[in-house]
Structure 1
Amino acid sequence: MITILHRYKRLGIALALGVSTLSAQAESVDSYPSESVTMIVGWTAGGPADGVGRMVAAEMGKHLGQAVVVDNKAGAGGNIGSVAAARAKPNGYTIMLATVASHGLNAALYDDIGYDPIKDFAPIGLVSASPSTMLVPLNSPFKTVQDYVDQAKANPGKLTYGSGGVGSSQHLAGASFKTRTGIDILHVPYKSTAPALTDVMAGRIDMIITTGAMAPIASGKVRPLAITSESRIAALPDVPTFDEAGVKGFYMKSWYGLVAPAGTPEPILLKLNEALTKALQNPELRQKFVDLGSVPAEPMSIDAYWDMVQNGMVEAAELVRISGAKAEK
């Protein structure tokens, strides 16, 4: 009898603890966020990803009632930041700016990226999408894509293209461009996009194919030759598509989104999705994206966003296969 009473007593304590835990979790979700939220960006300050992250973080903070602070963890094509985010506590206080690299290209480029893009993360929402632009120095002799291709064919291995690192979208774009045109050009990887753009503007690198091209174009130090989209964009109405420039079927859109560590409670994910949706409805923020040559996302559920990411991973793997690119060891 005493043993049975002890068992019931232990069961009662366990049930009480379970109810208490659930109550605490509910209270935690209801009060979220009660402190600042960290947004990990897997790229250095000053590059396209960092700029997008900071714009969105500032606006989301207004709707969350707490600051969203960008934490740059650059390296390995975004993998360092992704691993850090995947291992963070799933409590909503660490989120990450996901990209076509972290949740697409890298899994096909690297033998081991240290995380699973789907299993180790939970969806928040899409931020924006944008095509890449082929840029050459303003004093470059190349006025068209064909000028560059002709020179590359006449001088194999002599012309260069820069990127924000091995496995970056610029690396993949350049490698795909090589494959599609049958030219031999040298890849020059940098630690991030910003120094690569600096060297293009200074004429030390012959070309880069990148997002975030509007600022260097506006500086008057680079010349845009073509964009990787099916049609021209409003921000660059005079710049042809690669189709128009003679490189058929060269389409490549980079995207930015937000993710959280796997296991983050769904009510928190929905709060973050709501804050992101409200942020992207701000006309001033939307115009900033347009000015950058990007298309800000329309409202999207977390499930629809996750479907997009998973479908995009298949397309990214095919892009890597076609390009023949592989992360250097």
Structure 2
Amino acid sequence: MTRRQSLGLLAGTGLSAWAPVARAQGEAYPDRPLRIVVPYAPGATNDLVARIVATKLSEQLGQVSVVVENRSGAQAIVGSEAVARAKPDGYTLLMGASGPMVFNPATYDRLPYDTLRDFAPVSLLVSFPLVLVVSAASPIRSVQELVAYAREEPGRATYGSPAASFQLATELFAKKVGATFRYVAYRGTADAVNAAAAQEVTMCLGDSAGVVGAVQGGRVRALAVTSAARLATLPDVPTLAELGIQGSEVELFTGLLAPAGTPVPIVQKLQAALATIMRQPDTRQRMDMLALTSVGSTAEEFSALIAREIDLWRTVAREANIRMER
């Protein structure tokens, strides 16, 4: 027998011996409370999703307690890093949004975590588009008029944005329509929407959950959505694709991730529970009320999405020369 054959036999024997242990871990899990870390402040969209999911996950896993812990700060880096460094035993999980998972890697030269290396994606939970809005008092009543204004007044056309995700999405839109908008930073979506409503900025692209209320309240006018299909909550607002702006589809996400190295049977058990949760009619209804789309993907689908999104937004960030510093 050659050395390579001997090593192969030993490796196979080791895997065979490990399989019952891995299965046992999955069967025994969980036997104590789980913790879902939300890298945002209480009351934010991701926090609301986490609390809905936590209650239902507790039921799916046999009434074990599932606690939501908010660890906000530094563009969601603080909470994300905490989970990346946690013990990979399935008891510390991350409610990971597009921001820390794909936009931070696209815009920061250095991060204390690597999305692809340090996390084990479990399931994509919800997705949501952005909504392009202007003030209800603005004379701009269509995307065509907005683009014409930006081309005529490149120094005066501005957009408000609270984070890299919205900034990059706006820069992608600007590139697709051949216009220039000047960036103005705000602390949160609500602040950016308020600025658009007050005509402090020409427009903003905000997440559907943070914008729909202002649209329905008559404070801002929605010109388009970035999803492939129209939003049920804004049925009269066209998609950018409908307006002939191809390649501008953007949907952000929130999903559950575990630290890398979490045993596969545990990831599979969590994924199966989350798939059930996200299909339940009352879950879908509650997500609809937040202007979110309930998904519940496989771990493999979620992993592939993250990798694709990082590649896309790295390209956009490089072309728009957008870099963040810590």
Instruction: Give TM class, smaller chain.
Output: 0.7 to 0.9
Classify 1:287/1:151 alpha carbon distance in 2 versus 1 (closer, same or farther; 3 Å). Answer: same
Aligned residue for 2:323?
326
Of structures 1 and 2, the larger Rg is shown by: 1
**Which SS does the other structure have where 1:77 is aligned?**
coil
Q: Distance in 1 between matches of 2:135 and 2:55?
A: 33
Tell me, which stretches of 5 or more residues in structure 1 are unaligned? 1-18
Cα deviation 1:8-52 (Å, max 9, x = unaligned): xxxxxxxxxxx9xx98x9877544334432222223333333333
Q: Distance in 1 between matches of 2:39 and 2:232?
A: 29
- Summarize the alignment of residues 154-169 of structure 1 with structure 2, pairs less than 5 Å apart: 154-165=152-163, 167=164, 169=165
Cα deviation 1:32-83 (Å, max 9, x = unaligned): 3344322222233333333333332332233232343332333333222221
Amino acid at match of 1:209: L
Cα deviation 1:160-218 (Å, max 9, x = unaligned): 322222x2x21111222232334332322233334333444454443221222333333
Among 236, 243, 246, the residue aligned to 1:245: 243
Amino acid at match of 1:44: A
Aligned residue for 1:43?
40
Aligned residue for 1:179?
175
Classify 1:55/1:223 alpha carbon distance in 2 versus 1 (closer, same or farther; 3 Å). Answer: farther
Among 105, 108, 119, the residue aligned to 1:107: 105
Once the two structures are overlaid, the 10-residue window that deviates more, 188-197 or 129-138, is 188-197
Q: Are the aligned partners of 1:179 and 1:322 in contact in 2 as well (CA < 8 Å)?
A: no
Identity of aligned residues (%): 33
Amino acid at match of 1:45: P
Classify 1:199/1:53 alpha carbon distance in 2 versus 1 (closer, same or farther; 3 Å). Answer: farther
Cα deviation 1:77-103 (Å, max 9, x = unaligned): 322222121012222221112222322
**Which SS does the other structure have where 1:103 is aligned?**
helix
Among 113, 116, 120, the residue aligned to 2:114: 116
Classify 1:92/1:101 alpha carbon distance in 2 versus 1 (closer, same or farther; 3 Å). Answer: same
Q: Does structure 1 residue 289 correspond to structure 2 residue 287?
A: yes
Classify 1:123/1:70 alpha carbon distance in 2 versus 1 (closer, same or farther; 3 Å). Answer: same
Q: Are the aligned partners of 1:133 and 1:228 in contact in 2 as well (CA < 8 Å)?
A: yes
Amino acid at match of 1:183: A
Aligned residue for 2:268?
270
